[in-house]
Structure 1
Amino acid sequence: MIRFFSSLFLLSVFCSALAQELVPKEQNEPVNGKNPREREPFKNPDLEIFKKLFVKRRKEHMEAIKGLLKMESYERRYKMISVMTEKVYNVIETKKHVLEKAGFVPNNISFPKETEIKDALSSILENTALFGDIVLHIPDIMHRILKQQPMWHSIMRWSFSFVSQMRHLLDKSTFTMLHLAEQELQFVPRDPNYVNPYWTNPSEEANNKKATFKKEKRKKEPRITRIEL
């Protein structure tokens, strides 16, 4: 499990390297009888590859969340989430310095060409999304961890704000999830009707399990038949 989560932070480097190899060659020949200047703008291959790999990464994130939710031991789940979120925080903090040093300004138009910036950008987007998933699906543990790590708040608040300015790189479901996570963390004011749609109260879940167990136990208990003499 830990080996799987660690791999999530390394694949973005491969994404950046692959993107560099697939930069299109300039085309000057007319296509379908049209002058190149008259044709529709050519899609940025780096951006298209980034989006596809990001969607793939989101599927891996959801598998990771499912694995956490299947853990019956609260302490094991807490320790695993503590390790994951600490790695997420460290990666985001490191990549934030890279972008600031490069003078990168987030916006909804451009996509960087420099490998180092693309790597930093993908790392921040991926890890912020994973952080948001954990916040929404397992808020009881996340709020407990964040209460013990108040120094994380400023970096994570910056990260969510940064990602919202790069929303053109996100799929719709991820952007919606991140907006909900911002509200759960109260980085932004909560909507009047805000509800976390992914979370079940642990106490209610435990009570439901106990009730089900008692019901099944009663069914399995042998009935004593009274014999009249």
Structure 2
Amino acid sequence: MSVQFSLWISWLFMIIIFFMGSFTSYSLAEDDDSVDLFLRLFVAKRMDQLQAVKNILTLDMEKQSGFLDKITSKIQDVMMRHRVTLESSGYIPGVGLADDGELPSDPIIKESLSLVLENSCLLCDIVLRLPTEMHKRFGTNKDLDLILKWSVGFVREMSLLDDSTHRLLDLCSQEIGIIPKDPEFHNPYKIVKPAQKRFEDPPPPTKKPRLKLKRGPKMSKTEL
């Protein structure tokens, strides 16, 4: 791996890490601590994440593989740490601890919830667009597989999310096996790459048909 390639990957990685930062941190300067603000900040963060995913899709295979290794490792670390916070708090999506609808009033728990939510959606975006590459990683990294299944199952219970987010989580749940695939399941985000041509021996040259010359009239025995 060249130095230039490593620096390029590190630069893009830092941009994605910026997009992975909790959107609730931006609400500290605002007096409004409502569900509406939470959702508006979440939607803004999702737009940034989707642009980051588009950047991943533009990479060639070698760069994309190296980048996916880095980003999935970081997401795994973030979600495993904040899973501990959420489970120890007793927070249950759809029930809450409550002053504010489904959102916990404790800012530390709310921060963990936002990080698990946005990173779950980011990883779902990647899984649905690059399922083959991601299933390879799930096969060799069971902790990544388990934490994604836990996180997606956890945030799916948040009824305050919009329809498009619920659809994303539902499709990913089917793709990674949390729930059975619907008979009509279709992944609309999957990138279908054209099959690469194999370099084989050239086919044998085709033989040109021989032209048959017309024969003239034959002499009879009496003429000889």
**Which TM bucket (shorter chain)?**
0.7 to 0.9
SS in structure 1 of the partner of residue 20 of structure 2: coil
Tell me the percent identity.
30
Name the residue aligned to 2:83. 96
Name the residue aligned to 2:140. 148
Matched residue count: 181
Name the residue aligned to 1:157. 149
Q: What is the CA distance between 1:14 and its match in structure 2? A: 1.7
Tell me which of 146, 170, 178 is aligned to 1:187.
178
SS in structure 2 of the partner of residue 60 of structure 1: helix
Q: Is the 8 A contact 2:152 2:173 kept in 1?
A: yes
Name the residue aligned to 1:50. 38
Q: What is the CA distance between 1:167 and its match in structure 2? A: 3.1
Q: Is the 8 A contact 2:24 2:38 kept in 1?
A: no
Q: Is the 8 A contact 2:24 2:41 kept in 1?
A: no
Aligned residue type for 1:155: I
Name the residue aligned to 1:68. 56
In structure 2, the gaps of 5 or more residues are: 1-11, 96-100, 198-224
In structure 1, the gaps of 5 or more residues are: 24-44, 208-229
Q: What is the CA distance between 1:127 and its match in structure 2? A: 0.2
* Higher helix proportion (structure 1 or 2): 1
Name the residue aligned to 2:217. none
**Does residue 20 of structure 2 align to residue 9 of structure 1?**
yes
Q: So what's the TM-score if we normalise by structure 1?
A: 0.74
Name the residue aligned to 1:82. 69
Tell me which of 193, 205, 209 is aligned to 1:202.
193
Q: What is the CA distance between 1:16 and its match in structure 2? A: 5.0
Aligned residue type for 2:20: F
Q: So what's the TM-score if we normalise by structure 2?
A: 0.75
Q: What is the CA distance between 1:154 and its match in structure 2? A: 2.2
Please provide the CA RMSD for this pair.
1.7
After the TM superposition, list the runs of 4 or more consecutive aligned residues in structure 1 that deviate by more than 3 angstroms.
Answer: none
Aligned residue type for 2:170: H
Q: Is the 8 A contact 2:102 2:158 kept in 1?
A: no
Which piece of structure 1 moves more, 177-186 or 146-155? 146-155
Q: Is the 8 A contact 2:174 2:180 kept in 1?
A: yes
Which piece of structure 1 moves more, 143-152 or 5-14? 5-14
Q: What is the CA distance between 1:203 and its match in structure 2? A: 4.0
CA distance in 1, matches of 2:122, 2:159: 16
CA distance in 1, matches of 2:135, 2:34: 37
